[in-house]
Chain A
Amino acid sequence: MQPLFLHPRDLDLDALHLFWAAPPDAVLTASLATLGQTTPALAFAAEGRPILAAGARRALALRERRGRTLAAVVLEERDMEPDLAALPQALRLGAVYLASNLGRTVTDAMAVAAGRYFVAAGGPEAFEALAAPRLFPEGDRRRALVGQWLALPPSLDALLASGNLPLGAAGRLAALDDASRQALAPLFHAVRWSRANLDNALTWLVEAARLAGEPPAAILGRCGALDLPGRGLSPNDLAAGVLAALRRARYPATTTLEARFASLSRAVTPKGSKARLSPSQGFEADAVTVTATARSPQELAKIAADIAAMAAASELPRLLRVAHEDDPA
């Protein structure tokens, strides 16, 4: 291995194989200022300028310090394992970069960024053979999920990095066609999706589309979910509203029953009452369940009076028959 002193400005720090390169943080900048460079960067000799193989953050930080050079060692083929040395240059650079980052915590977005590089340089097999074993410990389920994610358009990677889309939804997202993913883009950008919520949302959308014999984009266009992001709702209300709109599209009869029941039970229940009405399981029976918790005789008396008022409410017969198809609310 040969030591080299490179001028940071001569190096291509935007090279694709430096897929995790990020601006230096204050700790690194301060350490370089006080202690200087304690660990050499790695470089490959090349025609013209050497290629930086690892140490991009150090190089970036040193660019800000006039006259400072980057200490690097030059990796030569004879220093490497034969398998690594035999790789095409792009893959070798990627593998060395990953090896130099060994031990670093790899986020989902970082794993995908690495995956993109390897797939572009050598196809999905290169990701599986060279990157995945260096990224994930044996048995890590993220390996398969990243593999699925890599089949998605790269435009979704930023949503993974921002936390709007979870890696666990890779399979579900990959099962959508491009048009559906594009139609969903405003919702992907507006909501931070948990895996469970996204699973439900996509299941309802796709099933509603199958039932209607229409593309998911058509259902999405008319279910009202796309109108919600512009309304200034809180993140929780927005997510709940979008899910409710999609559920209505998938389960029109059930959600209509629920809405009817909610509105009639509001009309039947005295304001402020502790007595709660709930429908029979699945609206199978013409019955309601009344529940209440009393902590004193007075509370119980009040609940009893409320229940008596409920029994006399003019809307109660309609509430009891809420599941009758010929009794629209």
Chain B
Amino acid sequence: MTAAPWDITLLAVDAAVAGSAMALRAAAALPEAKQMVLAPGEASPEAPEGGRALHVKAHKGRFLRPCPATRHYRCCGYQIVHIGENCPMDCSYCILRAYFRDRTLTAFANTGDMFEELGRTFGRDRSRLFRVGTGQFADSLALEPITGHTREILGFLKGFDNVVLELKSKTADLSWLEADPRPDRVLPAWSLNAPEIVAGQERGTASLEARLAAARTCVAAGFRVCLHFDPVCFFPGWEAGYAAVVDMIFDHLRPADIAYMSLGSFRCLPELPGRLAAEGRELPLYMLGEFTLGADGKKRLVRPLRVRQFRFMAGRLARHGFTRGLYFCMESDEVWREVLGRTARDLGGLSAHLLDAARNRGGAPSCSWTTPKP
């Protein structure tokens, strides 16, 4: 083991981006890692000492993509800015396990190409609003101290009033604040979970306390934050666990500090449990829930249990005065109606609703619910 950040013992940089600002920043941030430049077509070797490799390369495809939602469930309309792949943390429920076969971290250093594409899209019609985020194929901020990726993006986005950027993370990294972004166009966001899940199922993530303290720092700097309970896990004692973390939120934040909050029940590709077993991990209790195969081909908790959990959480949040800005990630109209008494369509469409909440303090009062069903 080395003391390198995230145990990164190899920095492999493609020759095409060897002179990029990101490559230079990464080299400076990883002085103890083995550093090498890869010729075109050359594969990144194994990282020494059982550590991880960070591969800094150019991304060839599109940088802006729609979130991979399905038509069967209500999607939030978030668009992904593709900054890299894989995550140095390790959560048993992580979807990235299904996407990426190895532990190599990838960061895309051709930010010039990215800004050109984003500039074209965002600049074409400045009255068109965008809610974008970087945390889909990677944690938004896990590599920020090494790559400075987010700081570059924030600098670029200063010229686009029509774009709100959500930075979703399980770290407590705030180095991106150095870019001095517009507080009304950036939404720092944290994923939260019950303390048992954080302790037992997340490796390398910041503590709940640290995440919420970071959120409070952002609020003090004028930002509003987003919180995501995704995945909400069903395990013996979940009520106490989720009650504790909801209560903890409001030890740090006021309801008005939160632009919106999502609840997403644990769902996974059916092969995920087998992958964990292949890694020699005992199947976590929450993966033994009562699952059904959803219309999107993913396993999800059987509906009455999801509804029970969502009602519990919505009720607990309401007790703290958080009565608007709650939404469900990838849920059906049935679940929306059962928990909140209305559907995403009643809110004017989830995408529009969240865009409104993201841009406007106070969100969209006309289309928020007030009292969750008991």
Contact = CB atoms under 8 A, between A and B. Distances in A.
Judge: A and B partners, yes or no: yes
Interface of A: 207, 210-213, 251-254, 257, 281-286, 323-325
Nearest to B334: A286
B195 interface: no
A200 B292 CA distance: 17
A251 B338 CA distance: 22
Interface in B288-318: 288, 290, 292-295, 300, 302-305, 307-308
A210 B295 contact: no
Given A210-B285, A325-B304, A283 B292 contact: yes
B303 A283 contact: yes
Contacts of B300: 282
A286 B304 CA distance: 12
A284 B303 contact: yes
B191 to A, nearest CB: 25
Contacts of B290: 251-254
Interface in B338-359: 338
A252 B338 CA distance: 21
B201 interface: no
3 nearest A-B pairs in the assembled complex, by CB-CB distance: A282-B292, A325-B304, A323-B303
Q: From B236, B290, B295, name the one whose CB has the most chain A CB atoms within 10 angstroms.
A: B290
B332 interface: yes
B304 A282 contact: no
A323 B304 contact: yes
Nearest to B237: A213
A324 B339 CA distance: 10
B305 A285 contact: no
A188 to B, nearest CB: 24
29 contacts: A207-B288, A211-B236, A211-B288, A213-B236, A251-B290, A253-B290, A253-B304, A254-B290, A254-B302, A257-B302, A281-B293, A281-B295, A282-B294, A282-B300, A282-B302, A283-B292, A283-B303, A284-B292, A284-B294, A284-B303, A284-B334, A285-B334, A286-B334, A323-B304, A324-B304, A324-B338, A325-B307, A325-B308, A325-B338
B311 to A, nearest CB: 8
B338 A253 contact: no
B131 to A, nearest CB: 27
Interface in B191-227: none
Contacts of A257: 302, 304
Contacts, number: 52
Contacts of A324: 304, 307, 338
A161 to B, nearest CB: 32
A282 B288 contact: no
Q: From B292, B294, B338, name the one whose CB has the most chain A CB atoms within 10 angstroms.
A: B292
A284 B295 contact: yes
Given A284-B332, A324-B338, A211 B285 contact: yes
Interface string B272-300: 00000000000001001010111100001
A285 B305 CA distance: 14
B360 to A, nearest CB: 33
A282 B285 contact: no
Contacts of A207: 288
A323 B308 CA distance: 12
A253 B302 contact: yes
Nearest to A282: B292
A280 to B, nearest CB: 9
Given A212-B236, A282-B294, A286-B334, 14 more contacts: A210-B285, A210-B288, A211-B236, A252-B290, A253-B290, A254-B290, A281-B292, A282-B300, A282-B302, A283-B304, A284-B292, A285-B334, A325-B304, A325-B338
A221 to B, nearest CB: 19
Contacts of B295: 281, 284
A251 B289 CA distance: 8
Contacts of B292: 254, 281-284
Nearest to A327: B304
Contacts of A325: 304, 307-308, 338
A285 B285 contact: no
